[in-house]
């Protein structure tokens, strides 16, 4: 999958060159397209395509990631809404959610300094289902004095598109401490209703790559 990235300091898509747009279009159609194939499709030399492609990567305009069909995994999805007391704390909680390998997406809403996150939880025949995701993370946020409220909006049953992104947060299994600074081996829910944090050596779930 290819994502288009944009920040306040970066150019808007409307400011890209025509060659940039043509290359991006080719990758959207097929992220596995080769430089040679793209050069033929848009009638540019390989050297030109290679130059523009490297520049797009360097400028963080495009990014390639691996996505997996969520039907291949036993997952539940939860929508979390956090209302903060101060706007100044938004970045801290955005990064806190993003550091959790169970977070798929997190973003800020201008309404009441809200942080909204989509988090998954896993289940199998050996453990019971949870009514909330990652209790260590949620309880940590709920107890934080900078937070007005932290609510679990409910379980999401369908997601479109059906492919979810995978990244290094879910394949690093060397640590004993989770990104939220908790330890799975001392958690009473570990292997009872939780398969462990995907970023630790205690993890027993489906993201075992």
Residue-range domains of the chain with CATH: 2-64 (1.10.10.10), 69-169 (3.30.70.920)
> Whole-number mean pLDDT of the chain?
85
Q: What is the pLDDT of residues 157-196, one digit of tens each?
A: 888 888 888 878 777 677 888 888 889 889 888 888 888 8
Nearest in space to 104 (alpha carbons), one of 123, 122, 82, 119 = 119
Q: What is the pLDDT of residues 71-94, one digit of tens each?
A: 888 788 899 999 999 999 999 999
Gap between the Cα atoms of 175 and 207, Å rounded: 15
Of the two residues 103 and 122, the one the predictor is more confident about is 103
Alpha carbons within 13 A on the beta-carbon side of 177:
4
> Which runs of E-coded beta strand occur in 40-162?
62-64, 66-69, 75-84, 103-109, 114-122, 147-156
Beta-sheet pairing, 114-122 with 75-84: antiparallel
Dihedral over alpha carbons 169, 172, 176, 181 (to 10 degrees): -20
Distance from the first to the final alpha carbon of the chain? 19
């Amino acid at each position: 999958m290819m994502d288009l990235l944009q920040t306040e300091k970066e150019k808007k898509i409307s400011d890209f060159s025509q060659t940039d747009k043509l290359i991006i279009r080719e990758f959207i159609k097929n992220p596995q397209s080769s430089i040679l194939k793209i050069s033929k499709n848009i009638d540019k030399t390989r050297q030109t395509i290679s130059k523009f492609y490297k520049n797009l990567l360097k400028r963080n305009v495009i990014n390639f990631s691996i996505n997996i069909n969520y039907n291949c995994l036993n997952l539940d999805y939860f929508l979390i809404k956090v209302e903060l007391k101060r706007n100044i704390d938004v970045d801290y909680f955005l990064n806190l959610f993003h550091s959790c390998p169970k977070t798929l997406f997190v973003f800020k809403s201008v309404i009441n300094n809200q942080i909204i996150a989509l988090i998954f939880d896993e289940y199998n025949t050996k453990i019971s289902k949870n009514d909330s995701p990652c209790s260590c993370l949620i309880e940590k946020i709920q107890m934080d004095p900078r937070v007005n409220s932290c609510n679990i909006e409910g379980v999401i049953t369908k997601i479109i598109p059906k492919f979810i992104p995978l990244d290094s947060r879910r394949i690093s299994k060397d640590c004993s401490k989770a990104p939220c600074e908790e330890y799975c081996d001392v958690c009473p829910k570990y292997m009872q209703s939780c398969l462990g944090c995907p970023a630790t050596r205690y993890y027993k779930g489906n993201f075992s790559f």
